[in-house]
């Protein structure tokens, strides 16, 4: 009887550890860190000075290119991220699994003048 209890305990511990460390939907490849952050935007973009070529070097190609009412070129960048948090499951001690998720959106909109220099920019960041 004691051997069965030890076997069940070991199986339960192994299962508990494997559940808490497994990430659902995680890819085998590491994700590349984005330069699209408020700190990078504030430190790298200077109105009246930064060029389109410099913006391309810092952030890459924009998600959307358009023109405004003044016929100035407008570039839009968007970064969406989700964070999934999972609690471990411990069947031996009766703990329940828990899961929560949150999403964040970061939008950068840059307006260029006729000489391809940053005229203005805005940042919108939301979390939900």
Provide block-wise average pLDDT over 10 residues at a time, the chain (128 residues). Answer: 57 48 45 78 96 96 96 96 69 62 92 98 91
- Do 117 and 45 meet the contact criterion of CB atoms below 8 Å apart? no
Q: Using CA atoms, how far apart are residues 85 and 29, in angstroms rounded to an integer?
A: 20
Taking the domains of the chain in order of start, what are their residue ranges?
A: 33-127
Q: Using CA atoms, how far apart are residues 86 and 81, in angstroms rounded to an integer?
A: 16
Instruction: Please tell me the predicted confidence (pLDDT) of residue 77.
Output: 97
Q: Using CA atoms, how far apart are residues 2 and 54, in angstroms rounded to an integer?
A: 70
Instruction: Please tell me the predicted confidence (pLDDT) of residue 46.
Output: 97
User: Model-level pTM?
Assistant: 0.63
Cβ-based neighbour number of residue 118 at 10 Å? 20
User: What CATH number was assigned to the domain covering residues 33-127?
Assistant: 3.30.1450
Instruction: Please tell me the predicted confidence (pLDDT) of residue 100.
Output: 77
């Amino acid at each position: 009887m004691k051997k069965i209890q030890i076997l069940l305990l070991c199986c339960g511990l192994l299962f508990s550890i494997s559940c808490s460390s497994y990430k659902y939907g995680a890819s085998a490849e590491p994700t590349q860190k984005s330069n699209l952050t408020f700190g990078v935007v504030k430190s790298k973009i200077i109105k009246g000075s930064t060029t389109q070529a410099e913006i391309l070097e810092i952030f890459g190609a924009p998600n959307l290119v358009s023109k405004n009412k003044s016929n100035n070129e407008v570039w839009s960048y968007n970064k969406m991220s989700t964070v999934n948090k999972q609690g471990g499951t411990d069947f031996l001690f009766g703990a329940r699994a828990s899961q929560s998720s949150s999403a964040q959106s970061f939008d950068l909109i840059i307006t260029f003048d006729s000489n391809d220099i940053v005229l203005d920019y805005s940042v919108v960041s939301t979390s939900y």
